[in-house]
Amino acid sequence: MLEFLAKGGVLVGPILLCSVLALAIFIERMIRFSLMRSRGAGLADKIIRLLRTGDAKAAHEKAISSNSPMGRVLAQAIRFRDRDREILETVIVHATEEEVRGLSSYLQALATIGNIAPLLGLLGTVMGMIKAFMVIQQMGGKVNAAVLAGGIWEAMLTTALGLAVALPTMVAHSYLFARVDKYEARLNDGAVRFMTELDHK
């Protein structure tokens, strides 16, 4: 397999590196999202129940100890619950945006890898084709079809490899981006429920 890939030229290495980085980012994000899901499950309901009993201190401690995006957003909301509505909304929006930025970490890198990989493959193919035609020129055009075909498939190997890396990378990016959108919706929902609870007091 390594001997086969080596025929693709010097750009096979960078393309393989892109695949390793993309896989590492995907695994890291999936692990983080899984941990977040277990830590923040049902947290908004628990905090709202504590607020209804008037135990704001326990609610704040519960939010902080959860070590989750929802917990951090609600902790900020609890701290500023007695301030003006406009200030409270600004604090919640800022906290939510900060958490979403954290959730989106490395997703731009994943998109960049998905865009770069096929371009590296195309560049490798162009370089390979140039070399192939240089050989044809050096041989005075006396090249049989087998030699020409061999040079072409070796040149096109990098394009195939680049696409093989780019396609799953872009799928992974879309999936993770959808997960971030879902978590953002949950954060907004928790914030709205918190604000509604304050309005009922």
- 4-53 pLDDT tens trace: 666 667 788 899 999 999 999 999 999 988 887 777 767 888 888 888 88
pLDDT(139) > 80 = no
Give me the number of domains the chain comprises.
Answer: 1
Whether 30 is covered by a domain: the verdict is yes
Whether 68 is covered by a domain: the verdict is yes
- Distances in whole angstroms, Cα of residue 201 to Cα of each of 28, 42, 130, 196: 42, 22, 75, 9
What percentage of the chain reaches a pLDDT higher than 90? 31
pLDDT of residue 67: 85
Whether 4 is covered by a domain: the verdict is no
What is d(CA 34, CA 132) in angstroms, rounded to the nearest whole number?
A: 49
Residue 80 burial by Cβ neighbours in a 10 Å radius (0-12, 13-18, 19+): middle
Whether 164 is covered by a domain: the verdict is yes
Whether 127 is covered by a domain: the verdict is yes
What is d(CA 42, CA 22) in angstroms, rounded to the nearest whole number?
A: 32
User: Most distant CA pair in the chain: distance in Å?
Assistant: 91
DSSP assignment letter at 53 = T
Taking all residues of the chain, what is their mean pLDDT, rounded to a whole number?
Answer: 85
- Distances in whole angstroms, Cα of residue 127 to Cα of each of 91, 121, 130, 146, 154: 54, 10, 5, 20, 11
Task: Give 145's pLDDT tier (boundaries 50, 70, 90).
Answer: low
- Helix 85-103 × helix 145-199 angle, to 10°: 160
Q: 191: domain range?
A: 9-199
Whether 2 is covered by a domain: the verdict is no
Please give the average per-residue pLDDT across 72-88, as a whole number.
87
Task: Give 107's pLDDT tier (boundaries 50, 70, 90).
Answer: very high
Whether 148 is covered by a domain: the verdict is yes
pLDDT of residue 27: 95
